[in-house]
Amino acid sequence: MKQTKIVCSISDRHCEIDFIRQLFIAGMNVVRMNTAHATPDGIRNIIKNVRAVSPHIGILIDTKGPEVRTTDLDDPIQYKTGEMVKIVGRPDVKTTHDFINVSFPEFACDLKVDDDVLFDDGAIDMKVRGIEGPTVYAEVMNDGVLGAHKSVNVPGEHIDLPALTEKDKRNILLAIEEDIDFIAHSFVRSADDVKAVQDILDAHHSDIKIISKIENQEGVDNIDEIISFADSIMINRDELGVEVPYQDLPNVQKEIIRKANDNTKEVILTTQMLHSMIYNPRPTRAEVSDVANAIIDGVDAVMLIEETAIGNYPKEALETIDRIIKYVESQNSLTENDVKNSDQKMSIAHVISLSTKHIIDSLDVNNIVTYTKSGSTAKFIAKYRPKVPVLAVVPTKEKARKLALTRGITTFIEPKTLMMDEMLENAALYSKESGLAKEGDYILITAGQPDLGKENTPPTDFVNVRRV
């Protein structure tokens, strides 16, 4: 079985139960919903259909986050090099050739002369030549066509946008209401942006996990504090590549992956993984290498976007990336020296987790079974990238879904509180039922810390190796 997880974007226009089931069988672990396109009713329909397929599929929803976009326009606008235009923060006014209106009213306040304003992921570059009040005077630097609601980036400048839009807040409340598993917060610049989401979740006693999307230079500059506050990290190379020099992007990607691994935070890589398969039944050789290198670098998950949301070959794209993952994992493995522990003094859970890594490296063990109430012990074990799959036995389907992004983890739902002898005996049954072990195989069994002080709760700090 593969260890690296796969996230698939699903459109509310194509989210039939049979389609989702096909993707799940083909290797999908998490469904991602894009709030920029889906309506609240469409989101609810996706959720309903996903949960009808399997309780183990995680569900992820995006926020828009602190971004600037162009406004509506009647028809795409052609620009020629050397033309002069005005850029104004008027969210409710249509864009014309001479007046490009953007979604942030105070846009001009954070700009200075000679800044580059990049539209549509850098497709059009305009140089700031002057600023008068709310109006930015800019020169077109290359020919291009501008459409409605296209991205606006100003590399090197901090645009003082709020962390959450009103639509974001409504979608977070919808996520809480529907018990969605992950919120991917877009354009995270600092820990404060993460806290803005967490404050809403805390106010509603929600345990939804926050994925911080790294999409701009500020996010890269503040990556250490972002990792410390976020539950997971997503590297969006599309937007990130607009602000970070393209030649720096591979090293930035590798460094973020390393830091997330070291801090036991899942890291997801996205954008153009198999972009050509939107229109073609086979990937390019460069795409295959890209996916392979991401796996070798240590990502927990990769994400397909248009390939599964609107592409002509969604199932084929998923099967392709699944096949690449399995082959690369069979040929490459991380060692314990590849992942460092950031804590000077390790917790009991950390020690047990690291010990499982050393044991299975010395024994012919087929899989690890770990009993975990919160999922933390399973995450710690996964951090050290064991060469065998981890079966996390959790008490609820909600806890199972929270592990859907973590590399190498399969889940089994056991709602009963088991005593020690039951844990040891049942572990073999769970492994066989999950297809991870058969009669005569060895498995390693461990568990996290007990809930001290509670009656009838067994002591579960142990490591045990036994034959199925």
* Per-residue pLDDT band at 346 (split at 50, 70, 90): low
The amino acid at 160:
D
Domains 5-66+164-329 and 348-467 share a fold: no
Q: What is the CATH number of domain 348-467?
A: 3.40.1380.20
Please state the separation of Cα 203 from the chain's center in Å. Answer: 24
Specify the pLDDT at position 336: 43
Q: What share of the chain is helix, strand, coil (3-state, %, to 5)?
A: 35, 20, 40
Distance from C-alpha of 226 to C-alpha of 335, rounded to nearest angstrom: 26
> How does pLDDT run across 6-60, given as a tens digit for each residue?
999 999 999 999 999 999 999 999 999 988 778 899 999 999 999 999 999 999 9
When pLDDT is cut at 50, 70 and 90, the band that residue 364 belongs to is confident
Pairing of strands 182-185, 58-62: parallel
* Predicted confidence (pLDDT) at residue 348 exceeds the cutoff of 60: yes
User: What is the mean predicted confidence (pLDDT) over 67-75?
Assistant: 93
For 5-66+164-329, CATH gives 3.20.20.60
Q: What's the pLDDT tens digit per position in 112-140?
A: 999 999 999 889 999 999 999 999 999 99
Q: What is the pLDDT of residue 331?
A: 86
For residue 249, the model assigns a pLDDT of 93
Taking the C-alpha atoms of residue 381 and residue 313, their distance in angstroms, rounded to an integer, is: 35
H or E stretch covering 239: helix 237-243
First-last CA distance in the chain: 19
Given a cut of 50, is residue 444 above it in pLDDT?
A: yes
The answer to whether 174 touches 40, Cβ cutoff 8 Å, is: yes
Amino acid symbol at 391: L
Using 50, 70 and 90 to split pLDDT, how confident is the model at 90? very high
- CA dist 97 and 140 (Å) reads 11
Q: Write down the pTM of the prediction.
A: 0.89
Give long-range contacts, CB 8 A cutoff, 24+ apart: 391-396.
Answer: 391/367, 391/430, 391/431, 391/434, 391/436, 393/369, 393/427, 393/430
Fold of domain 68-153? M1 Pyruvate Kinase; Domain 3 (2.40.33)
- Say how far apart CA 401 and CA 406 lie, in whole Å: 10
Domain-by-domain residue ranges, the chain? 5-66+164-329, 68-153, 348-467
**CA dihedral for 188, 193, 199, 204, sign (positive or negative):** negative
Sign of the dihedral through C-alpha 227, 230, 318, 400 = positive
**Quick one: pLDDT band at residue 452, thresholds 50, 70, 90?**
very low
Tell me the pairing of strands 442-447 and 367-371. parallel
Residue-wise pLDDT for 269-314, tens only, equals 998 899 999 999 999 999 999 999 999 999 999 999 999 999 999 9
Residue 15 CA, distance from chain mean position:
20
- How far apart are the C-alpha atoms of 232 and 236, rounded to whole Å? 13
Sign of CA dihedral 37, 145, 126, 84: negative
Instruction: Report DSSP letters for 361-398, one per residue.
Output: HHS---EEEEE-SSSHHHHHHHHT--SS-EEEEESSHH
Maximum separation of any 2 CA atoms in the chain, in Å: 78
The predicted-structure confidence for 209-239, as pLDDT tens digits, reads as follows 999 999 999 999 999 999 999 999 999 998 8
